[in-house]
Amino acid sequence: MAIMTTTSSLAFQPVLERIAEEIERTPGRGRPADYIPALAACDPRRFGMAVAELDGTVYGVGDWRQPFSTQSITKVFTLALDLAREGDSLWEHVGREPSGNPFNSLVQLEYESGIPRNPFINAGALVVTDRLHTRTGDAAGELLAFLRSESGNPALGFDQEVAASESAHGARNAALAHFMASYGNIDNPVPVLLDQYFRQCSVAASCADLARATTFLARHGIRSDGSRLLSRSQAKQVNAIMLTCGTYDAAGDFAYRVGLPGKSGVGGGVIAVVPGRCTLCVWSPGLDERGNSVAGVAALDRFTTLTGLSVF
């Protein structure tokens, strides 16, 4: 039975504290991503969690103000920024189905003629970044400006060490980009695109920053200044793709346990949306074998169980 029978905001803080205590007692946190040295050094016992209300009020616990590597979480924001500009023609270049393959897989691309399954696997995110770059001339800069403005934190920035590390270990992303270019599904020169993509992955932000920056999705497309980024229908679409494709090839299990649209990154962060109510961000760098934060998913599972706030 849910302990929060009303949706009173003040009830968030005790729920977060209870979850942090439970997580603290839980052994086994998974392992930090080790494919780039800049991520491998993170302590898997770190844990932070934040909830943001629609008006931007944020509640948090643990390391909720500590910046971490956002990685694939930024794919949600580039998708929203591109969809806002080009609308449905985006879907001629990237699909909307779960891939059932690892996030950096090449195999499906050949069967499906260079059209990635969805915008949250690496191939799909490369297409989205490419299209946003064509439209803006600076996809990573657009993303950063958006995150700064929606989080209310003008100090957000790229982590140069992580970006350089991504680039030095980026052979597979380069392969994906070149392969899609061979099908005519990439506009910009591949080195330009990769630089944009790696910088996008390197953004450092805290749970508080990301929970706030995600609230436009809980407000059905309305930004923090009251202007509209996405139509109500587009906001629904982005939330739906997060639910079905946002947590690598464990999206079914995430929906089963958490019951919210979510997006994870290999830095150990996960964002989640309760449409019309609030957003969440949790960070703990230890990952399971599919690339999702062990403590992060457990904490979101507890949050929706304790509060009853879920889309189901």
- State the residues that interact with ligand GLU by CB under 6 A: 71-72, 103-104, 122, 166, 173, 201, 265-266
Report which residue type is found at 61: V
> Is 89 assigned to a binding site?
no
- Token code pair at residue 107: 């195999």
> Is 197 assigned to a binding site?
yes
Q: How far apart are CA 87 and CA 177, in angstroms?
A: 22
Shortest reach from residue 307's CB to ligand GLU, in Å: 27
User: Exposed (0-12), middle (13-18) or buried (19+): which is 224, by Cβ within 10 Å?
Assistant: middle
> What is the 8-class DSSP label of residue 71?
G
Q: How far apart are CA 66 and CA 194, in angstroms?
A: 27
> Is 293 assigned to a binding site?
no
Nearer to ligand GLU by Cβ, of 72 and 118: the residue is: 72
Among residues 88, 60, 29, the alpha carbon closest in space to that of 287 is found at 29
**φ/ψ (deg, to 5) at 272:** -150, 155
> Is 248 assigned to a binding site?
yes
> What is the 8-class DSSP label of residue 74?
H
> Is 183 assigned to a binding site?
no
Work out whether the CA dihedral 144, 146, 149, 150 comes out positive or negative. Answer: negative
Nearer to ligand GLU by Cβ, of 266 and 295: the residue is: 266
Nearer to ligand GLU by Cβ, of 104 and 134: the residue is: 104
Q: How far apart are CA 282 and CA 264, in angstroms?
A: 9
Hey, which residues are catalytic here?
Answer: 72, 75, 197, 248, 266
Site of tokens 């956002």: 70
Shortest reach from residue 173's CB to ligand GLU, in Å: 5
- Token code pair at residue 269: 């962060």
> Is 61 assigned to a binding site?
no
Please list, in sequence order, all residues whose beta carbon lies within 8 angstroms of the beta carbon of residue 77, skipping any fewer than 6 positions away: 143, 146, 147, 213
Nearer to ligand GLU by Cβ, of 70 and 304: the residue is: 70
Nearer to ligand GLU by Cβ, of 109 and 201: the residue is: 201
Shortest reach from residue 172's CB to ligand GLU, in Å: 7
Name the binding residues for substrate.
Answer: 72, 122, 166, 173, 197, 248, 266
Name the binding residues.
Answer: 72, 122, 166, 173, 197, 248, 266
